[in-house]
Every structure is written in C-alpha cells, then in structure tokens.
C-alpha cells in the first residue's frame, strides 16, 4: 500500500465549477500535511498547509480528518488557471528529517 | 531574493555514465533535500542535508550520493546510470530540517535523460 494515495484523475470540469480532491495516508503518526500545485514540467509549489481545524485561502479549502486518515482540497469557482496537478503531501515528522512524502498527484483540467 | 537554483536544466547521458547535479538554496536556508520525480508520479525523497550532514536518506541504491558544502549548496551524484534513472531531479531548501511550519521551496529541477 502506498504511503499517500490520490486518485490521479484527470478531473475535467467547466469554469465556475466546484471540485474536490481527496487523499489518504497510511502512517497514523504523520504530523504535517500540505497541498502542493505542480504545473506541467515545472516544480511543485506550496498551495496550502492543512490543519486539523481546516483552513481556507480564498477559493481553496483544505480539511484534515485524522481519524480516517484523509485530507481533502476543495476548489470553488474554478478558473482556467487552476488547471494543474495537485499533490497531496505528508511529513511524517517522527524521523525529524523533514522528509516529504508525495502522492501521485491529481490532474485538474478546467475547460471554458 | 533569488529562489532555489539548479544546474544544469537538462542533461542527456548514456547508461553506465556518471552525473553530478547542483543546487543552491535560498539565501539563509541551511537545509537541502533532493527528490526524484519520474513521469506520472509524485516526487520521491532521496536525501536531506542540514549543516553539511546527512539527516535523511530515502530508499535509493548506493549509486546515489550527495554532499553539502559550507555555503549550503549541494551536489547529487549518480553513478552507473540506468535507463530508470531518467527523471526530473528536484532540489528543495528550507531553513531547518523539520518542523510543521518549515516550508520546503523547490527549484526548477534538472531533467535527466538516460539513453
């Protein structure tokens, strides 16, 4: 079983749609959680950290469910510029190395 | 301020050769991590260095090695290249080794093709 699992998609949605991605992780001791965005052939960039209380940044909302070991990302009012691959990322932290564990990524394609 | 820089941007090698990839972290960052990203997959952790010492190693063979210099820049070396080493190699820098508030910032990567 992969340490971090995501549905690779692709998710094809029209502009203005709301889309949600889920991700599950296997290590219950994981401490830190993130969503990174990666454009085609570019480096990953931090989109947002994910906290137990949930957090929102404009049109983006991230939630963490520790009991079920899953993380979600909700994008409201999708824009063409949201088209990218969204990577679910976990930092186990227990090893104190700062190692990040990435999911496979979920591809989003927003169409006019 | 300049972000993380990596060189070269692209590289083509043949099987059995050796390659050295370079990374300069963001000014003030002391930690450098290396990741390998093959097509269609998420990045996979290779190494982390902090204050010139190895602090973490992923599940990669001994053909992969790295080091960090006094100015915090880093090199990743891969010996005896295999076709399967073809990937995007990403370097990330952060201020510390760990901590849930310590963001890792990625460089643009080096795209390695092994023929």
Mutation site, A5, A23, A44, A106, interface B, largest B CB count within 10 A: A44
Which residues between 48 and 107 in chain A have a beta carbon less than 8 angstroms from any beta carbon of chain B?
49, 87, 89, 91, 93, 95-105
Chain A partners within 8 Å of B111 (Cβ): 41
Q: What confidence score (pLDDT) does residue A53 get?
A: 83
Q: What confidence score (pLDDT) does residue B96 get?
A: 76
Give the pLDDT mean for A51-65.
Answer: 92
Q: Do the Cβ atoms of A43 and B41 come within 8 Å?
A: no
Q: Do the Cβ atoms of B97 and A98 come within 8 Å?
A: yes
Give the pLDDT mean for B95-115.
Answer: 83
Mean pLDDT of chain B: 93
Confidence check: pLDDT of B98 > 80: no
Q: What confidence score (pLDDT) does residue B1 get?
A: 61
B62: closest CA of chain A, how far (Å): 19
Q: What confidence score (pLDDT) does residue A52 get?
A: 82
Chain A partners within 8 Å of B44 (Cβ): 102
User: Residue A42: CB partners within 8 Å, gap ≥ 6?
Assistant: B108
More confident site: B2 or A104 = A104
Confidence check: pLDDT of A70 > 70: yes
What are the tens digits of pLDDT across the range B12-56? 999 999 999 999 999 999 999 999 999 999 999 999 998 889 988
Chain B partners within 8 Å of A93 (Cβ): 98, 100
Confidence check: pLDDT of A62 > 70: yes
Per-residue H/E/C for chain A: CCCEEECCCCEEEECCCCEEEEEEECCCCCCEEEEEEECCCCCEEEEEEECCCCEEECCEEEEEECCCCEEEEEECCCCHHHCEEEEEEEECCCCCCCCCEECCCEEEEEEC
In percent, the amount of chain B with pLDDT more than 70 equals: 95
**Chain B residues with a Cβ under 8 Å from any Cβ in chain A:** 31, 33, 35, 40-45, 48, 50, 55-56, 58, 88, 90, 92, 94, 96-100, 102-109, 111
What are the tens digits of pLDDT across the range A5-32? 999 999 999 999 999 999 999 988 888 8
Banded model confidence at residue B59, pLDDT cuts 50, 70, 90: very high
Alpha carbon distances (Å) from A54 to A49, A61, A74, A99, B32: 9, 7, 11, 23, 29
Of the partner residues A43, A95, A101, the one whose CB lies closest to the CB of residue B107:
A43
Confidence check: pLDDT of A2 > 90: no
Give the pLDDT mean for A70-89.
Answer: 97
Give the pLDDT mean for A35-42.
Answer: 94
Q: Do the Cβ atoms of B99 and A98 come within 8 Å?
A: yes
């Amino acid at each position: 079983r992969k340490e971090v699992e995501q549905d690779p998609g692709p998710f094809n949605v029209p502009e203005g749609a709301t889309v949600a991605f889920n991700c599950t992780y296997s290590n219950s001791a994981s401490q830190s959680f993130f969503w990174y965005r990666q454009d085609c052939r570019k480096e990953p960039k931090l989109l947002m950290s994910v906290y137990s209380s949930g957090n929102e940044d404009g049109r983006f909302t991230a939630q963490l469910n520790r009991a079920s070991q899953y993380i979600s990302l909700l994008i409201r009012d999708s824009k063409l510029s949201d088209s990218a691959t969204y990577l679910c990322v976990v930092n186990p932290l227990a090893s104190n190395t700062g190692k990040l564990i990435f999911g496979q990524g979920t591809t989003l394609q927003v169409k006019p | 301020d300049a972000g993380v820089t990596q060189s070269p941007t692209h590289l083509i090698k043949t099987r059995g050769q050796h390659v050295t990839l370079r990374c300069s972290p963001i000014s003030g960052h002391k930690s450098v991590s290396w990741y390998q990203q093959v097509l269609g997959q998420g990045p996979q952790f290779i190494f982390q260095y902090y204050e010139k010492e190895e602090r973490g190693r992923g599940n990669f063979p001994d053909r992969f090695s790295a080091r960090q210099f006094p100015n915090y820049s880093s090199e990743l070396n891969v010996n005896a290249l295999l076709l399967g080493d073809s990937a995007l190699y990403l370097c990330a820098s952060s201020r510390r080794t760990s901590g849930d508030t310590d963001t890792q910032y990625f460089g643009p990567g080096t795209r390695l093709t092994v023929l």
